[in-house]
Amino acid sequence: MNITLKDIIGLTKELPEKYFEEVYKKLTEIKAKAKSEKEIEASIKVCPYCESRAIVRNGKRNGRQAFVCRHCNKTFVETTGSAIENSHSSPTVWRQVIRDTVNGISLDKTAEGLDLHHETVFYMRHKILYRIEQELLTSPVDLSGVCETDETYVLENEKGRKFPENHHRKPRNHGGKASKRGLSNEQVCVCTSINGDGKCVAVSVNRAIPSKSELKKVFSDRIVDDTVILCDGNKNYNVFEEKCTVAHVSNLNKINNFHSFIKERLRAARGVATIYQNRYNALFSKIFGSQETAVDRIFELMTSCKNSFATNNDIESKILLTI
């Protein structure tokens, strides 16, 4: 049975008030059992600062077991250095937000199900996206073997922003259509590739058709000696002929499926703000074809102590797409 945190919260809300005390007592007992000091201590293997194993328990900090390192004398808790450091939400809540992010559930539905404020869930979701994008930037996917490579186009979106007076177009409703037919400066290009192992790349660097220099910016660091690029009739991909084999073909089924997945998810969300497009591109690259295992992989990424903590200000100002 696949029971989510949202299901448990929903059942709790439907209980008569006279049962609240009994349910609270039972949940408290379960929490104490799951969060026993022995289990927490077993999960902490090394100091997040110096990676020493000489660590011992050191009281509580905000209700969480704290530790001190005998080597560097610094104190820490289980989430220190991770992307969820200083969060008021439990790892269980974070896992549910990750699950909803992977499944394309709206922010409002996640906030309602977890009884959280919309803004809280917004920052939680974008910390997840930010961490995924950071990982893909620091450890780019190697496009080894035969890779289907092509670009797709998504509608520019200014969701959540006010238009400046000299903006190049008029405002439109979420989920609206471009005012011009075909490719225009209202279309954001997503350069994509997928290899035989199912590893994906999706990056936006421009509007309309990508130039040779823009394609090199996206793919050059990912191409290896045995890469074979299969693309359509866009001759700009020939810029890679000195580094690998480039072939122009008519059928690109894998990459077309990836494009359909991207557009379906954006359509369900009624678009995402263009400044955050690459964050969602990173998510789509991470989960395409492997949604069943994606939640566990992303949760591990969020809880690993690798100095990955980001503030709300980082979320609003760093690694934004400006084109």
pLDDT digits (tens, 9 = 90+) for 146-165: 999 999 999 888 776 676 66
CB neighbour class for 73 (10 Å; exposed up to 12, middle 13-18, buried from 19): exposed
Residue 104 domain-assigned?
A: no
Residue 30 domain-assigned?
A: no
CA 308 to chain centre: 13
Quote the pTM value: 0.82
Q: Which DSSP helix (H) or strand (E) runs through 189?
A: strand 187-195
Residue 98 domain-assigned?
A: no
Residue 216 domain-assigned?
A: yes
Residue 102 domain-assigned?
A: no
Looking at the structure of the chain, the number of domains it has is 1
Q: How confident is the model at residue 111, as a pLDDT? A: 94
Residue 221 domain-assigned?
A: yes
Q: Say yes or no to pLDDT of 6 above 90.
A: no
pLDDT digits (tens, 9 = 90+) for 86-136: 888 888 899 999 999 999 999 999 999 999 999 999 999 999 999 999 999
Question: Tell me, what CATH number does 274's domain have?
Answer: 3.30.420
pLDDT digits (tens, 9 = 90+) for 260-305: 999 999 999 888 989 999 999 999 999 998 888 999 999 999 988 7
pLDDT digits (tens, 9 = 90+) for 62-89: 777 889 999 999 988 878 888 888 888 8
Domain that holds residue 231: 142-292
Residue 80 domain-assigned?
A: no
Query: Are 240 and 214 a contacting pair, CB within 8 Å?
Result: no
Residue 308 domain-assigned?
A: no
Distance CA(138)–CA(69), nearest Å, equals 29
Distance CA(123)–CA(131), nearest Å, equals 12
